[in-house]
Amino acid sequence: MQIFQRDNMPKSVSSSTMDPEIAQWLKTGPVLGAHKPIHEQRREHDAFIDPVLPRIGRVEYLGIKGPHGTIPVRCYHPSTPGLAEGGALIYLHGGGFVVGSLDQFETAMCLLAEGSGAQVYAVDYKLAPEYQWPVQMEEGEFIVRWLHDNAAARGVDPNRIGLGGDSAGGNMTCTISLKLRDELGPALALQMPLYPEAAMPFQTPAGIENRTGGYVDTAGVFLFLWSLLPHGTDYSQPYVTPMNAQNHANLPTTLLVTCGFDMLRDVGHEYAVKLATAGNAITYIHHPDLPHGFIQMTRHSERCLAATRDLALKLGESL
C-alpha cells in the first residue's frame, strides 16, 4: 500500500504482482463488462453475496421517497463507538451503472461501519438501462440532502457527512460533489471515491494493460455508457466525466483509492493529482497488488480484507 498527500503526489502509479489469493479466485469469478446480456451479469454478481457477514450492530432498512420513486437505503450502525461516532457515510455501489445490489456489497458496508464508527447509508439507486442518467446521480444527491436535513433525528452531525462509492459509484461521488459545490448545496465533510471512473480509460496504459483477464474488461465501458446515457447526451460534460470540470477547487476533503490491476488506475490517479493541484486536502491510497473491486472480495483474500479494514480506519480518521 502506498499513501500520498497533497504535497507529495506521484507522477504515476503502476501494478506490482497481484495478490495470489485473489488472482486465483478471479479465474472463476464474475466479469463486469463481459460479452453477456446484462441480466446474466447481474445474476452472476451474486457470487459477491457472502453467506456469513462480519459483525455489525444493527441494520436499518429504509425506503426514502425520492425524485424517481422510492429509494431503498440500508443504514449500518456499528456495534461499538469508533473514531467517527456521530458521523455518517452515504455510499453508492459500483457495477458500471448496470450491475450491483446492496446484498452484493453488504460485507464491505459492515466492515466500513464497524471499522470507522460511522453510520453507513448504502443507497440502492436505480440501474441502467431501465433508468438512464441523470436518475442515478439525482437519487444519490437526494439522499445527501435528505440526510443533511434529517441529521439530528438520525443521530448524525450534519457537519460530518461524507459521500463515497466505488467505480461507477466513485464516478457519482465525484459528480455529486462537484454539483453540490456548484449549486452551494450542503457541504460534504468528505468525498471517498474508490477506483472511480473519473474519465474514460481507453487510451491510458492502465486501460490497455487491464483490458481483460481481471474482474472488469475495459471494453465494458462502452456497454456502461450505451446503457447509461440517453441518445445524444454529451458524455464530456463534468457531471458525466468529472475530470472535465473547469476547476476542481473548493471540493471536500478527499480519500481516494486506486488499484494496480484496474483499467481505471490512471484516470483515478490523474483525478487525485487534479484535486491536489487545486488545493484540496487529499489522502491518496494506491494498492499496486490489488484489482478493481477488491472491497467485494474480502472473503476470498486476506489481503483484500486487510485493505478494506484499513480503508475503514482511514474513513474513521477522516470523519
Residues 41-51 pLDDT 10s:
999 999 999 99
Average pLDDT over every residue of 190-219 = 96
Strands 58-66 and 69-77, how do they pair?
antiparallel
The tens digit of pLDDT for each residue in 104-138 reads 999 999 999 999 999 999 999 999 999 999 999 99
Q: Say whether pLDDT at 213 is over 90.
A: no
Residue 291 has pLDDT above 90, yes or no: yes
Looking at residues 220-237, what average pLDDT do you find?
96
CA angle 229, 209, 294 (to 5 degrees): 70
Retrieve residue 148's grid coordinates: 443533511
Torsion of CA 94, 230, 245, 317, to 10 degrees: -20
Catalytic-labelled residue, pool 45, 93, 286, 292? 292
Q: What is the pLDDT of residue 231?
A: 96
The one catalytic residue among 15, 101, 116, 167: 167
Residue 292 is a catalytic residue: yes
Structural domains of the chain sorted by starting position, each given as residue range(s) with its CATH number in brackets: 2-318 (3.40.50.1820)
Whether residue 89 is predicted with pLDDT greater than 90 in this model: the reply is yes
Examine the residue annotation and report whether 167 is marked as an active-site residue of this protein: yes
Dump pLDDT digits (tens) for 139-179.
999 999 999 999 999 999 999 999 999 999 999 999 999 99
Is residue 156 within 8 Å of 221, Cβ to Cβ?
no
All three cell numbers of 258: 486506486
Strands 282-291 and 254-261, by their bridges, are: parallel
Q: Among residues 124, 166, 217, 262, which one is catalytic?
A: 262
Over the chain, what is the mean pLDDT? 97
Residue 155, judged by CB atoms within 10 A of its CB (0-12, 13-18, 19+), counts as: exposed
User: pTM of this prediction?
Assistant: 0.97
Give per-residue burial for 71-110: e unless 16+ CB within 10 Å, then b: bebbbbebeeebbbbebbbbbbbbbbbbbbbbebbbbbbb
